[in-house]
Amino acid sequence: MTFTAIITGFQKAALLLGFVVIGLISAASVQAQETPASTNPKTEIKSSLTDLSNLYKSEVERLEKRHAQSQQLFNDGLISRVELEKGDKELADARAKVEQVTNEIAAVNQPASLPEVVSNLVAAGNQVWSTGNVKIDNLIRLYGGQYGVDPFLIYCTMAQESSFTAGVTSPKGAQGLMQLMPGTAARYGVTNPYDAAQSIKGGTRYLKDLLTMFNGRVDLALAGYNAGEGAVMKFGNTIPPYSETRNYVKLILKRYSTKKPVS
């Protein structure tokens, strides 16, 4: 083999090695682009609460402008004090909502509460539950802990109500993950029933009130959630004789009465 042939062979080998290295770098770059960043559950919750806070702040700004106009109309004798005080109350309620969400964001920022709020781990040997969406799972744990409602009960109720579909609307007009009727949503300050955080918070508060109303009776609370608390009371604090309601309670209790996970 001549010297020129040897040099040519080295050049070809170097060129081939260069192609291989470039190929490996390109593959690594593509893989890095295709691999999604790990989701931080704590960040997910803060983001959802921040969106809710911004919504409430916008409402406060709107009411403040309206209140200033009402104050001027009152000073000019064009509206009554009753109307002015009604506006005062609406503004105070809106500000209270902003403060409440601010406190919830602060609570999420507390390291000590993090395991209770965002941990997806359960004790060995217990059943694992998940909606398939880490953000929704953690919102269930957050509001369940905040209002003293078993997160697994919220999960079971949501499974029956919406199958974890945030944008669903029932033929009767119930909306969102927790399928809140417009009147119930308004009662609990839910302005967007299709927002996951608002829906779960409103539905959890409603479940809490029903459990309190019926002395911790899960079956009656579920019946009230489906048919309304008035129907439960109408039939002497028993499950109303409606086939839909009885089937609803039966299906949720069947799932809820299985070996429950530690949440």
Mean pLDDT of 179-196: 95
DSSP3 helix / strand / coil % (the chain, rounded to 5): 70, 0, 30
Q: Which domain-ending residue is among 69, 88, 115?
A: 115
- 29 neighbors 56 (Cβ within 8 angstroms): no
SS3 256: helix
Task: Answer whether residue 4 is part of any domain.
Answer: no
Q: Are residues 91 and 182 in the same domain?
A: no
Q: What is the DSSP string of 12-60?
A: HHHHHHHHHHHHHHHHHHHHHHHSPPPP-HHHHHHHHHHHHHHHHHHHH
- Phi, psi angles (nearest 5°) of residue 38: -65, 140
Alpha-carbon gap, residue 209 to 207, rounded angstroms? 5
- 220 neighbors 228 (Cβ within 8 angstroms): no
What global pTM score does this model have? 0.58
- Whether the predicted pLDDT of 114 surpasses 80: no
| Number of independent structural domains in the chain | 2
Q: Are residues 98 and 177 in the same domain?
A: no
Q: Are residues 146 and 185 in the same domain?
A: yes
- Whether the predicted pLDDT of 20 surpasses 50: no
Q: Are residues 173 and 220 in the same domain?
A: yes
Q: Are residues 106 and 161 in the same domain?
A: no
Concerning whether 244 is annotated as a catalytic residue, the answer is no
Q: Are residues 83 and 180 in the same domain?
A: no
Q: Are residues 190 and 105 in the same domain?
A: no
The mean-pLDDT minimum among 30-39, 41-50, 128-137, 245-254 falls in 30-39
Task: Answer whether residue 16 is part of any domain.
Answer: no
Torsion from C-alpha of 193, 194, 196, 201, nearest 10 degrees = 10
Range of the structural domain that residue 214 is part of: 124-258
Choose, from 34, 161, 229, 244, the residue flagged as catalytic: 161
The mean-pLDDT minimum among 25-29, 146-150, 179-183, 216-220 falls in 25-29
Cβ neighbours, 10 Å, residue 235: 13
- Whether the predicted pLDDT of 33 surpasses 80: no
Q: Are residues 93 and 135 in the same domain?
A: no
Q: What's the pLDDT at 224?
A: 97
Q: What CATH number has the domain bearing residue 218?
A: 1.10.530.10
SS3 121: coil
The more confident residue out of 121 and 213 is: 213
Q: Which domain-ending residue is among 97, 115, 133?
A: 115
Nearest Cα neighbor of 64 from 98, 88, 40 is: 88
pLDDT in tens, 146-182: 999 999 999 999 999 999 999 999 999 999 999 999 9
- Whether the predicted pLDDT of 19 surpasses 60: no
Task: Answer whether residue 27 is part of any domain.
Answer: no
Q: Are residues 100 and 188 in the same domain?
A: no
- Whether the predicted pLDDT of 197 surpasses 90: yes
Alpha-carbon gap, residue 88 to 117, rounded angstroms? 35
